[in-house]
């Protein structure tokens, strides 16, 4: 485990430098380690030095030693990412030049077009996972409101079911509303990996446009990380992380809570309750029914580093969420009593064993089960307006009367096996089986919209197997190839009647297909890396698409999967001059050719709706990121994304010429970016204390909501917002106070048409971090 120490010894030092860097994409670089008397790593110093001398003579040996991401990352990175946090540490060494890779850096050195967000650098902020992702090139998070509101991720223009979300390699589908990117704080994550277009086999899923993998903190040490923040709109957030280990046994506990009234001001039309007519002009109103809170806890316990298991871990996560619903998809439609609740419980098991039966044969098995219950309530017989006034109505429900409950159950088992042969060949196999079922439990509550089929079960069993091979002939380049096989079996009710009287029958349909991909990376000269990757990716039809919506729709067993040819090419450069100036640059080109979208169509000649494959969209885009560091004092960085996403389908499904042929895809941001800067005053008011000032800018160019050639004039306006923060970190990061101001200029911000986001807000955060 010497190697672990190399990493862990240096990661904190590196992180300290940018402990409040809002854009945690850290370059690896030579580092001068100061000598002083406060030596937490002293016993390791000699072995560390030896290790470094032995392995790190050549700067890029380290890269190759650690860059087994394609195949071994799930095991290797778990063990090696076992570090934690922004804990500051001073290493007792003579001046040595060390080049070591954190997991974040190692991931970037793979041939995938992947970005790893170092969550450790963000833990003094009040960000959730989705806001952390919003600062990644190629990624745009689109929110419908304030804390806890719905957020949708757009990854190179893909969104919805084309982007799959994982936690520790397990799919989060079915975890329910109480666990989603928008309400999980960054505290739980060690890092967040964003795979653009080409997804490793370990993340077994039919991810057409990419995947996001949240890697949770896995430290096997004793640590406490507790924080509380309070901010505008009566927002409270707290988080407690605790972990300890002894004699190979370890326990970790994490709990967090978010609470907000979200009573920010919005500008919209007023409904006259007397006449039910809208005002002609917009007025400012304070949101009055948008309270949100969620609470969640995870406990993990297990053994590590035993002869029979490198890790065996049991885990239980519980969470719940309650959200008032203030408005509909048009903000002028306002509610005063609707709400939504969600609860989830997720037990999980994980087992890892290296050198199983044979040297270099590693096994990992994970399993989880999730039960999520979602509940929608709309029972008030009232009509509200934006002043919070209401009048009584003669029927129940502000929108549609419901007390509906929906249960989702999801079981997933993932197994990965990899084998390293003779140093140059790495084989890997991964299989993920997921079984998803959905059932509506409350018959009376859903009476208005339901049919008899509403209460029949629906299941979706999916199996994705992947096999990959990686060839590493030299330390200058490596290449890999993989194949994936997808299989889905769905069961559900279908209307088999040929007359106007519906007759339901449960039917089963299966579907399978295969995909493949390749990747390669080259390190031609010091500081430079080139990489390219390709995947033929698929998304399988869902149960609705195969079955229809069980009333007047027909599914189509002849559907093809949605498919996309995804191509990436990246070039990156990093260098340190005079041991104080560091630069990092990365440019990526992406190409996506996506076809056979599964679309619901309705044609009067056929009556009810049906699903068909149609459409072709091409995306040619570029992500650029550049970053400069001045020692541990100053950093400045920026990333920008431009994507030219256009409809390349000339004809409608029935053969009509399309007016929007070659139009830019509507309602998708296509030009956006971030700028950040950070300035640290080290040893401010005492040794080991850091005062840092941070700034972040977010820009999204305006875009059309509808096809431009149709002559639509609805635009989502340009968004330019500025955030700033001040952090004072004491006792080498043990005590932290951060003050944040978001949207300083109080811009009116929209990610989606009509749905206004919060204006200027302030928060203060206290954090205690202890690490042994």
Partner 1 sequence: MITNFKQSVSARLLAICCACLPFVFVSCNKNDDPKPEPEKKGAFFIAATGESTQYILQVDNPETGTTSISNNIKTLELSGYTWIFNSNPSAAVGLIYQQGDPGVGLGYVADENGSLRESGQFLITSRFTSYGFFDRYALTSVGGVTPVDGQGNALLDAGGNNRTDGVTFNFFDLKNNFASQTKTIPTLNITGNGQQATPSGIVDMGNGEFLTGLVVSEPKDPTAGGGASSGAITYPDSVWVAAFDANLNLKRIYRDDRIGYSSGRFRSQYYSQIAKADDGNVYVFSGAYESTTTRPAGVLRINSGATAFDASYYFDIQEKTGGYKFRKVWHITGNYFLLELYNDLVPAATGAATQYGVVDVIGKTFKWVTGIPALDKITATGLPAPHNGKMYFPITAEAADPAIYVINPTTAAATKGLTVTGATSINAIGRLTHD
- Complex with partner 1: residue 36 or 400, whichever CB lies closer: 400
Q: How far is the CB of 614 from partner 1 (least distance, A)?
A: 8
* Helix, strand or coil, per DSSP, at residue 453: helix
Q: How far is 722 from 221, CA to CA, in rounded Å?
A: 38
Q: How far is 435 from 488, CA to CA, in rounded Å?
A: 9
Beta-carbon contacts of residue 431 (< 8 Å; ≥ 6 apart): 204, 414, 415, 416, 463, 464, 465, 466
Q: How far is the CB of 537 from partner 1 (least distance, A)?
A: 13
Q: How far is the CB of 543 from partner 1 (least distance, A)?
A: 13
Q: How far is the CB of 550 from partner 1 (least distance, A)?
A: 11
- Complex with partner 1: residue 400 or 683, whichever CB lies closer: 400
Q: How far is the CB of 505 from partner 1 (least distance, A)?
A: 13
- Which residue bears the tokens 């096997």? 220
Beta-carbon contacts of residue 558 (< 8 Å; ≥ 6 apart): none
Exposed (0-12), middle (13-18) or buried (19+): which is 520, by Cβ within 10 Å? middle
- Complex with partner 1: residue 202 or 324, whichever CB lies closer: 324
Q: How far is the CB of 500 from partner 1 (least distance, A)?
A: 5
- Complex with partner 1: residue 104 or 139, whichever CB lies closer: 139
Q: How far is 29 from 577, CA to CA, in rounded Å?
A: 10
Q: How far is the CB of 24 from partner 1 (least distance, A)?
A: 29
Q: How far is the CB of 593 from partner 1 (least distance, A)?
A: 13
Q: How far is the CB of 714 from partner 1 (least distance, A)?
A: 5
- Complex with partner 1: residue 529 or 594, whichever CB lies closer: 594
Q: How far is the CB of 344 from partner 1 (least distance, A)?
A: 23
Tokens found for residue 243: 């972990």
- Complex with partner 1: residue 504 or 628, whichever CB lies closer: 504
Range 681-684 contact pairs with CB under 8 angstroms and sequence separation of 24 or more: 681/633, 682/632, 682/633, 684/728
- Complex with partner 1: residue 247 or 501, whichever CB lies closer: 501
- Complex with partner 1: residue 42 or 651, whichever CB lies closer: 651
Q: Are 537 and 562 in contact (CB under 8 A)?
A: no
Q: How far is the CB of 564 from partner 1 (least distance, A)?
A: 10
Q: How far is the CB of 400 from partner 1 (least distance, A)?
A: 4
Q: How far is 198 from 70, CA to CA, in rounded Å?
A: 11
Q: How far is 131 from 763, CA to CA, in rounded Å?
A: 15
3-state secondary structure 19-58: CCCCCCCCCCCCCECCCCCCCCCHHHHHHHHHHHHHHCCC
Tokens found for residue 557: 């067993």
Tokens found for residue 183: 């309400």
Q: How far is 287 from 234, CA to CA, in rounded Å?
A: 12
Q: How far is the CB of 394 from partner 1 (least distance, A)?
A: 4
Q: How far is the CB of 699 from partner 1 (least distance, A)?
A: 20
- Complex with partner 1: residue 105 or 130, whichever CB lies closer: 130
- Complex with partner 1: residue 328 or 413, whichever CB lies closer: 328
- Complex with partner 1: residue 70 or 494, whichever CB lies closer: 494
Q: How far is the CB of 402 from partner 1 (least distance, A)?
A: 7
What torsion, rounded to 10 degrees, do the Cα atoms 140, 680, 683, 19 define? 10
Beta-carbon contacts of residue 248 (< 8 Å; ≥ 6 apart): 303, 304, 305, 306
Give exposure, 637-671, as e/b (b: 16+ Cβ within 10 Å). Answer: bbbbbebebbbebeeeeeeeeeebeebbbbbbbbb
What torsion, rounded to 10 degrees, do the Cα atoms 230, 232, 237, 238 define? -10
2-17 vs 42-55: helix axis angle to the nearest 10? Answer: 100
Give Cα 279 to chain centroid, integer Å.
Answer: 40
Q: How far is 424 from 437, CA to CA, in rounded Å?
A: 43
Taking the CB of residue 221, how many other CB atoms lie within 10 A of it?
14
Q: Are 240 and 255 in contact (CB under 8 A)?
A: yes
- Complex with partner 1: residue 423 or 655, whichever CB lies closer: 655
Q: How far is the CB of 677 from partner 1 (least distance, A)?
A: 33
Q: How far is the CB of 506 from partner 1 (least distance, A)?
A: 16
- Complex with partner 1: residue 30 or 393, whichever CB lies closer: 393
Taking the CB of residue 38, how many other CB atoms lie within 10 A of it?
12
Tokens found for residue 97: 């030049």
Beta-carbon contacts of residue 711 (< 8 Å; ≥ 6 apart): none
- Complex with partner 1: residue 633 or 709, whichever CB lies closer: 709
- Complex with partner 1: residue 308 or 395, whichever CB lies closer: 395
Q: How far is 402 from 339, CA to CA, in rounded Å?
A: 10
Q: How far is 664 from 709, CA to CA, in rounded Å?
A: 9
Q: Are 27 and 63 in contact (CB under 8 A)?
A: no
Q: How far is 115 from 623, CA to CA, in rounded Å?
A: 11
Q: How far is the CB of 174 from partner 1 (least distance, A)?
A: 19
- Complex with partner 1: residue 497 or 510, whichever CB lies closer: 497
User: What are the strands, taking DSSP E only, across 496-596?
Assistant: 504-522, 528-539, 562-577, 581-595
- Residue 127 is classified by DSSP as -
Q: How far is 474 from 476, CA to CA, in rounded Å?
A: 5
- Complex with partner 1: residue 740 or 751, whichever CB lies closer: 751
**Beta strand pairing status for 382-384 and 477-495?**
unpaired
Q: Are 55 and 48 in contact (CB under 8 A)?
A: no
- Complex with partner 1: residue 47 or 449, whichever CB lies closer: 449
- Which residue bears the tokens 């007359």? 499
């Amino acid at each position: 485990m010497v190697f672990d120490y190399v990493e862990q010894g240096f990661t904190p030092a590196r992180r300290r430098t940018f402990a409040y860097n809002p854009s945690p994409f850290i370059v690896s670089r030579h580092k001068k380690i100061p000598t002083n008397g406060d030596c937490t790593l002293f016993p390791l110093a000699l072995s560390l030095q030896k290790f470094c001398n032995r392995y790190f003579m050549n700067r890029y040996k380290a890269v190759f030693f650690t860059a087994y991401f394609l195949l071994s990352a799930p095991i290797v990175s778990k063990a090696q990412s076992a570090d934690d946090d922004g804990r500051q540490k001073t290493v007792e060494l003579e001046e040595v030049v060390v080049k070591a890779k954190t997991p974040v850096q190692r991931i970037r050195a793979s041939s995938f077009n992947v970005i790893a967000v170092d969550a450790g650098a963000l833990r003094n902020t009040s960000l959730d996972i989705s806001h952390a992702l919003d600062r990644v090139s190629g990624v745009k998070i689109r929110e419908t409101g304030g804390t806890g509101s719905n957020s949708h991720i757009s990854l190179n223009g893909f969104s919805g079911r084309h982007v799959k979300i994982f936690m520790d390699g397990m799919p989060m589908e079915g975890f329910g509303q109480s666990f989603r990117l928008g309400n999980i704080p960054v505290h739980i994550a060690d890092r967040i990996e964003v795979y653009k277009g080409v997804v490793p086999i370990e993340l077994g899923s039919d991810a057409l446009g990419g995947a996001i993998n949240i890697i949770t903190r896995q430290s096997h040490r004793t640590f406490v990380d507790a924080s509380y923040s309070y901010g505008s709109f009566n927002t409270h957030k707290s988080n407690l992380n605790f972990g300890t280990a002894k004699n190979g046994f370890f326990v970790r506990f994490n709990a967090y809570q978010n609470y907000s009234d979200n009573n920010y001001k919005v500008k919209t039309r007023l409904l006259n309750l007397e006449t039910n007519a809208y005002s002609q002009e917009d007025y400012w109103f304070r949101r009055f029914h948008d309270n949100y809170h969620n609470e969640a806890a995870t406990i993990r316990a297990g053994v590590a580093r035993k002869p029979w298991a490198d890790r065996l871990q049991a885990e239980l996560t519980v969470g719940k969420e309650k959200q008032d619903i203030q408005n509909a998809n048009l903000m002028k439609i306002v509610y005063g009593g609707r709400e939504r609740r969600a609860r989830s419980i997720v037990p999980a098991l994980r087992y890892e064993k290296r050198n199983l039966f044979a040297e270099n044969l590693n096994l990992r098995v994970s399993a989880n089960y999730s039960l999520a219950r979602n509940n929608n309530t709309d029972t008030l017989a009232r009509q509200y307006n934006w002043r919070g006034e209401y009048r009584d109505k003669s029927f129940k429900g502000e929108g549609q009367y419901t007390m509906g409950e929906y249960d989702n159950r999801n079981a997933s088992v993932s197994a990965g096996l990899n084998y390293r042969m003779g140093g140059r060949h790495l084989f890997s196999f991964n299989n993920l089986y997921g079984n998803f079922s959905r059932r509506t439990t409350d018959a009376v509550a859903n009476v208005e919209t339901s049919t008899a089929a509403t209460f029949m079960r629906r299941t979706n069993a999916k199996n994705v197997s992947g096999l990959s091979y990686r060839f590493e002939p030299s330390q200058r380049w490596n290449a890999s190839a993989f194949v994936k096989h997808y299989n889905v079996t769905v069961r559900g009710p279908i209307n088999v009647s040929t007359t106007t009287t519906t007759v339901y029958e449960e039917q089963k349909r299966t579907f399978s297909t295969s995909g493949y991909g390749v990747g390669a990376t080259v390190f031609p000269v010091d500081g430079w890396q080139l990489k390219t990757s390709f995947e033929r990716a698929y998304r399988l039809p869902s149960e609705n698409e195969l079955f229809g919506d069980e009333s007047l729709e027909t599914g189509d067993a002849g559907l093809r999967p949605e498919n996309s040819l995804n191509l990436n090419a990246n070039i990156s450069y990093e260098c340190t001059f005079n041991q104080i100036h560091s630069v990092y640059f990365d440019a990526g080109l992406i190409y996506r050719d996506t076809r056979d979208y599964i679309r619901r169509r309705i044609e009067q000649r056929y009556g009810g709706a049906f699903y068909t494959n149609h459409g072709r969209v091409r995306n040619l885009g570029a992500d650029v990121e550049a970053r400069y560091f001045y020692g541990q004092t100053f950093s400045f960085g920026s990333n920008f994304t431009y994507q030219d996403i256009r409809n390349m389908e000339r004809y409608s499904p029935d053969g009509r010429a399309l007016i929007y042929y070659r139009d830019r895809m509507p309602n998708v941001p296509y030009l956006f970016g971030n700028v950040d800067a950070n300035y640290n005053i080290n040893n401010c008011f005492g040794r080991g204390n850091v005062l840092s000032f941070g700034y972040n800018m977010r820009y999204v160019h305006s875009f059309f909501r509808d096809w431009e050639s149709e002559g639509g004039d609805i635009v989502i306006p340009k968004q330019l917002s500025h955030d700033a923060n001040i952090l004072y970190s004491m006792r080498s990061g043990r005590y932290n106070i951060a003050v944040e101001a978001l949207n300083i200029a109080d811009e009116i911000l929209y990610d989606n048409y009509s749905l206004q986001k919060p204006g200027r807000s302030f928060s203060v955060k206290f954090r205690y971090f202890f690490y042994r």
